[in-house]
Copies of this chain bind each other. A is one copy, B any other.
Amino acid sequence: MAETFVSRRNLDFVLNEVLNVESLNQYGYFEDHSSDTFKMVLDTAMKISTDLMYPYLKEMDEQYPRWEDGQVYVHHAVKDFLKEIGQGGWIQADKPYEYEGQQLPMTVRQAANILFSSANYSMHVYPLLTAGAANLIYSFGTDEMKEKYLPKMYGGEWQGTMALTEPDVGSSLGDLTTSAEPTDKGYYLISGKKIFISAASSDVVDNVINLMLARIKGAPAGVPGISLFIVPQKRFTESGDFEYNDIYCGGIEHKLGYRGSPICQLIMGEGKDCHGYLVGEPGKGLAQMFMMMNEERIGVGVGAIGKISAAYYASLEYAQQRRQGRHLDDKDPTQPMVPLIEHADIKRMLLFQKAVTEGSLSLALLVSLYQDLELVADDKEKYSLLIDFLIPILKTYPSEMGILSASAAIQILGGYGYCGDFPVEQYYRDIRIDAIHEGTTCMHGQDLLGRKISMKNGKAYELFQAEVADTINEAAKKPELAKYADALNKAIALMKDLTEALSQKKNTISREAFLADSVLYLEFMSIITIAWQWLKQMAVAADALKGSSLEHDKRFYQGKIYTGQYFFDYELVKIYSLDQRLRSDDKVTVEITKEFFED
């Protein structure tokens, strides 16, 4: 195992120096907090990560969950972890005091989540899923539901899930068929099958509370017919005991990675006695689920960031320690070999990982800060729009580039990277899920180009530009960064021109042709967004470098500037080829039809 999986120094830099998270304390909701409480939260998260999570990373991959007669058995370490998380109040930490929360800013909470997911993503998802399910009850449930379910879920004693996917329904959720038959007893009879439900059965909790989408009998086709239900594994009897709710786990998937967390099939209502409790209004299920979806999508981005952080540090440690070859300008075979990190191509692969990881991390915490400001600041719409605009990027960029980033980690280790003695091959497997779950990359590309750009008459897109412009103006004042400010300025001009060109075509070509390359558009926009994050960080680092006297600090800030340079030199330039492709009217992917793939 590598010694390091995340940089606490970098987290502190982004939170305190780039985002000045402490300034949130000026708002009443956060006034009890201070940089001290934030530090304490992160210290505790770091301790949990180091003591209870990271040591089980490999074991949970190898001794993955076992299914037996409708019950799933998971690694025992999950129990200790959930207990600690429950007792520490982590699941509801951002909730108001009246719900036993701590009114912790999301920015700090997500920083802790980055620690958790870099230590052991499979373990981290158990409470993450519970938080997502609890949020649905918190937002749309009745007071009775809140009383019944939330304390146990917050305490880590009950697991929560979000049950959407069905055997024939993945991305196309409007087509789901799980049915809910009304009764006159206040509950619905649920019947159907769900698949790919994370943590929907485990022996380390007393109950599982599934937040499930289903179609009330007779409801219209498509999205308007979908409603949200609580479908617990065990339900309360009238006497307050528990009884079996005619729902069981029919099996778990054997997966490429992310193996410490079981992905379950759920079978409901075989005995026609599976009770479901309607949450909110009928027909609003998908809308309610999607109001929570931002949180889940940020969670995927943050999870990806955690994994590539850990892969980066594992490969960095190896590159520092392993000697191989000599400098290209000095190949005397009688001299000792040099550490890998002295080779330019190894440094290129390290800088790539560092740039992707820390650029995405900076974006993740910025979006979290927007969430905090959405809650407390005057201009709520502004922050809400910025969040909506940035979500597809935050969800997708670390997930897609993370595949390459973890692959670079393997490449640095060479043959050893391909073997199980080092953790990088696991990160490579673990991260591959992120471009799929909570909406595939294709869905997010269509979301950005098809909706977010034009949403509210383009207001979100304009707000995004204004934020980037602030950063460019700030950086342009610093001579050493003028070149990068200029490069980003040019990129933004290209983006405006391209987006305008595409928008003009929107009404003259089919929607299919308009959206055919939206994945590439998402990539284009993501690169620009991450370049913005790097310019932001470089501007802070440039000032701090001047003010630092400690060698260690100077190296940190200079390292930031080098990494930003890497991003501009090697990554930002990719937009020019993407632009060329995106402007083309040749639409072979639309034109070709299935019979031409036959041979």
Contacts and interface: CB of A to CB of B under 8 A. Distances in A.
Given A339-B594, A414-B436, A428-B432, A515 B328 contact: yes
A558 B588 CA distance: 12
A445 interface: yes
Nearest to A424: B256
A10 B432 CA distance: 31
Interface in A553-593: 555-556, 558-559, 562, 565-566, 569-570, 573-578, 580-581, 584, 586-592
Interface in A341-395: 341-345, 347-348, 350-351, 354
A194 to B, nearest CB: 12
A532 to B, nearest CB: 19
Contacts of A515: 328, 344
Contact of A256 (B428, B511, B588): B428
Nearest to A586: B569
Contact of A419 (B170, B254, B323, B588): B254
A436 B419 contact: no
Given A555-B599, A573-B580, A325 B172 contact: yes
A420 to B, nearest CB: 4
Contacts of A565: 586, 588
Interface in A142-180: 165, 168-172, 174-175
A599 B556 contact: yes
Contacts of A425: 255-256, 432
A303 B333 CA distance: 33
Q: Is the interface of A mostly helix, strand, loop or mixed?
A: helix
A195 B328 CA distance: 26
A337 B175 contact: yes
Contact of A597 (B333, B350, B419, B441): B350
B175 A333 contact: yes
A440 B168 CA distance: 42
Interface residues of A, number: 111
Interface string A228-267: 0000000000000000000000000111111000010000
Given A325-B171, A351-B588, A588-B351, A344 B414 contact: no
Given A333-B222, A519-B348, A512 B328 contact: yes
A342 B223 contact: no
A221 B334 CA distance: 6
Interface stretch (A90-98, A107-115, A403-411): A403-411
Residue from A258, A320, A345, A351 with most neighbouring chain B CB atoms (10 Å): A345
A502 interface: no
Q: Within the oligomer, what is the number of copies of this chain?
A: 2
B432 A410 contact: yes
A107 B344 CA distance: 37
A347 B589 CA distance: 6
Contact of A417 (B339, B436, B590): B436
A592 B573 CA distance: 20
B420 A255 contact: yes
Residue from A172, A342, A599 with most neighbouring chain B CB atoms (10 Å): A599
Contacts of A333: 174-175, 221-223
A122 to B, nearest CB: 13
A508 B169 CA distance: 61
A25 interface: no
Interface in A83-141: none
Contacts of A589: 344-345, 347-348, 351, 566
A592 B410 contact: no
A442 interface: yes
Contacts of A174: 333
Contacts of A511: 328-329
A598 interface: yes
Contacts of A345: 442, 445, 516, 518-519, 589
Given A411-B440, A420-B255, A598 B556 contact: yes
A63 interface: no
Interface string A292-334: 0000000000000000000000001000100111111100011
A16 interface: no
B591 A562 contact: yes
A441 B171 CA distance: 36
A324 B573 contact: no
Residue from A575, A591, A594 with most neighbouring chain B CB atoms (10 Å): A594
Contact of A7 (B348, B446, B576, B599): B599
Interface string A433-454: 1011100111001100000000
B411 A559 contact: no
10 contacts: A168-B323, A254-B420, A255-B419, A256-B425, A320-B594, A351-B589, A415-B436, A555-B596, A556-B598, A558-B596
Given A256-B419, A258-B418, A263-B419, 20 more contacts: A165-B415, A168-B337, A175-B333, A195-B415, A254-B420, A254-B421, A255-B418, A256-B410, A329-B512, A347-B589, A403-B403, A403-B407, A411-B435, A411-B441, A556-B598, A559-B592, A559-B599, A562-B591, A562-B596, A577-B578
